[in-house]
């Protein structure tokens, strides 16, 4: 009898679809592996630790791999690269997008890859994650077909949409249409959108994407928060209207964010090594900031705006909030505020508070978790 059913005694009526989303799964996955000492990831292990089917791990892993966070080493084995690999991965994508379609800039001409064999420029970018999708070492056409539809490739093309066009907000419909090329099959469209939802969810949980609503149409759209590479303009003022436009409010309530980060390393860079072991702050004038990588592995890069703990809701100004009971409340009560000074202190507080809240909430949510969680 005790075969497929988990031993976890949970009331069926408490089933929540949200808890099972790819987004939270991704957060959990990251929490599990984005820390000191991790460099190898086994799919079986991951599935067990996270209590999900293997199938779901493939989804996460494929998406993460497409932005360089992971690399497939062998069957069942992946190598952890970390968030620090993202900028480079994105830069590669930008290059690809560029020589696929050098004149991008319009909203209608994305550097979408449909058939790499044709539109592959002499880009000698040699990185595993891009190679996996751009190279098809002498395989036949039918074999490529499957790859062309892979989640990984789709993810990369999706990113290209953001980084190679000057569109700030893109709806999934628009993205799907663009990524489908000339196909006008409603079924294909729906399938594509489904996949984009998957991708968007994990990226949102990584803070690479932000869900918003289009100002006028009110149509759900996404904004790329990850590194845009290059001297991508439209920085602060246009990109994130923190404090002014809080349209992603409801989205904040949905998923927990593991790392708040701004990928445009401009003025100030705060790198967090490991989990929260050491925090370094450094300043620089121009955008040629070279982030020190003394402690390679995992480091988060924060940009000009550093999240600080703050309580709005006209509270008395005291930060002694008791343990938050759930993420809804947490997201409601606290909202990141951004400032430029005293980054060290603020950030330090931020990290610690966040960590403890996270643990608290986690405990509250599930009376007990896997024996894994207390090593944080």
Contact set with DNA (CB under 7 A): 15-18, 20-23, 43-44, 53-56, 58, 61-62, 74-76, 142-143, 145-147, 149-152, 172, 187-188, 190-191, 193-195, 197-198, 200-201, 220, 254
Q: How far is the CB of 57 from DNA (least distance, A)?
A: 8
Q: How far is the CB of 334 from DNA (least distance, A)?
A: 20
DSSP 8-state symbol, 328: H
Give whichever of 16 and 286 is closer to DNA, judged by the CB atom: 16
Give whichever of 151 and 208 is closer to DNA, judged by the CB atom: 151
Q: How far is the CB of 170 from DNA (least distance, A)?
A: 12
Give whichever of 18 and 319 is closer to DNA, judged by the CB atom: 18
Give whichever of 187 and 290 is closer to DNA, judged by the CB atom: 187
Helix axis angle, 54-65 to 43-50, nearest 10° = 120
Q: How far is the CB of 163 from DNA (least distance, A)?
A: 21
Helix axis angle, 54-65 to 151-164, nearest 10° = 40
Q: How far is the CB of 140 from DNA (least distance, A)?
A: 8
Label residue 21 left, alpha or beta by phi (over 0 means left) and psi (-120 to 50 means alpha).
beta
Specify whether the CB–CB gap between 49 and 372 falls below 8 A.
yes
Strands (E) located in the chain: 40-42, 70-74, 77-80, 169-170, 209-213, 220-224, 268-273, 278-283, 299-302, 306-308, 337-339
Q: How far is the CB of 137 from DNA (least distance, A)?
A: 10
Give whichever of 105 and 139 is closer to DNA, judged by the CB atom: 139
Q: How far is CA 70 from CA 26, 175, 218, 341, in A?
A: 13, 25, 35, 34
Q: How far is the CB of 238 from DNA (least distance, A)?
A: 22
Cβ atoms within 10 Å of 205's Cβ, excluding its own:
26
Q: Which of 226, 215, 121, 75 is nearest to 163 (CA)?
A: 226
Give whichever of 129 and 350 is closer to DNA, judged by the CB atom: 129
DSSP letters along 187-247, please? Answer: HHHHHHHHHHHHHHHHHHHTTSEEEEE-TTT--EEEEE-S---TT----HHHH--TTT--T
Give whichever of 193 and 346 is closer to DNA, judged by the CB atom: 193
Q: How far is the CB of 346 from DNA (least distance, A)?
A: 31
Give whichever of 64 and 163 is closer to DNA, judged by the CB atom: 64
Specify whether the CB–CB gap between 221 and 170 falls below 8 A.
yes
Sheet hosting strand 209-213, strand order edge to edge: 169-170, 220-224, 209-213
Give whichever of 62 and 259 is closer to DNA, judged by the CB atom: 62
| Residue tagged 């009526």 (tokens) | 13
Cβ atoms within 10 Å of 89's Cβ, excluding its own:
24
Q: How far is the CB of 184 from DNA (least distance, A)?
A: 14
Specify whether the CB–CB gap between 311 and 334 falls below 8 A.
yes
Q: How far is the CB of 303 from DNA (least distance, A)?
A: 26
Give whichever of 11 and 288 is closer to DNA, judged by the CB atom: 11
DSSP letters along 141-190, please? Answer: HHHHHHHHT-HHHHHHHHHHHHHHS--SEE-HHHHHHHHHTT---HHHHH
């Amino acid at each position: 009898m005790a075969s497929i059913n988990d031993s976890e005694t949970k009331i069926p009526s408490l089933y929540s679809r949200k808890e099972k989303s790819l987004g939270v799964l991704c957060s959990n996955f990251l929490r599990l592996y984005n820390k000191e000492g991790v460099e190898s990831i086994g799919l079986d292990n991951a599935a067990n630790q996270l209590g999900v089917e293997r199938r779901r791990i493939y989804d996460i892993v494929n998406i993460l791999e497409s932005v360089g966070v992971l690399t497939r080493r062998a069957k069942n084995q992946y190598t952890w690269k970390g968030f620090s690999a993202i900028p480079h991965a994105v830069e590669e994508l930008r290059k690809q997008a560029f020589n696929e379609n050098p004149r991008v800039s319009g909203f209608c001409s994305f550097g979408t890859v449909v058939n790499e064999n044709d539109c592959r420029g002499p880009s000698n970018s040699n990185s595993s994650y891009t190679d996996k999708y751009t190279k098809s070492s002498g395989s036949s056409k039918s074999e490529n077909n499957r790859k062309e539809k892979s989640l990984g490739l789709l993810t990369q093309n999706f990113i290209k949409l953001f980084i190679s066009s000057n569109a700030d907000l893109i709806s999934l419909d628009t993205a799907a249409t663009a990524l489908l090329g000339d196909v006008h099959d409603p079924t294909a469209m729906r399938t594509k959108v489904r996949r984009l939802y998957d991708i968007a969810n994990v990226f949102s949980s990584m803070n690479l994407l932000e869900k918003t609503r289009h100002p006028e149409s009110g149509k759900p759209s996404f904004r790329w928060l990850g590194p845009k590479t290059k001297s991508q303009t439209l920085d602060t003022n246009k990109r994130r209207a923190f404090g002014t436009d809080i349209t992603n409010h409801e989205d904040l309530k949905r998923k927990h964010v593991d790392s708040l980060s701004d990928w445009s390393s401009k003025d100030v860079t705060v790198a967090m090594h490991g989990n929260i072991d050491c925090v370094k702050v450094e300043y620089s004038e121009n955008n040629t900031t070279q982030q020190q990588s003394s402690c390679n592995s995992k480091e988060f890069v924060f940009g000009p705006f550093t999240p600080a703990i703050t309580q709005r809701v006209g509270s008395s100004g005291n930060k002694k909030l008791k343990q938050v009971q759930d993420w809804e409340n947490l997201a409601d009560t606290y909202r990141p505020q951004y400032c430029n000074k005293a980054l060290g202190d603020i950030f330090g507080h931020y990290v610690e508070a966040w960590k403890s809240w996270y643990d608290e909430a986690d405990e509250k949510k599930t009376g007990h978790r896997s024996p894994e969680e207390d090593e944080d």
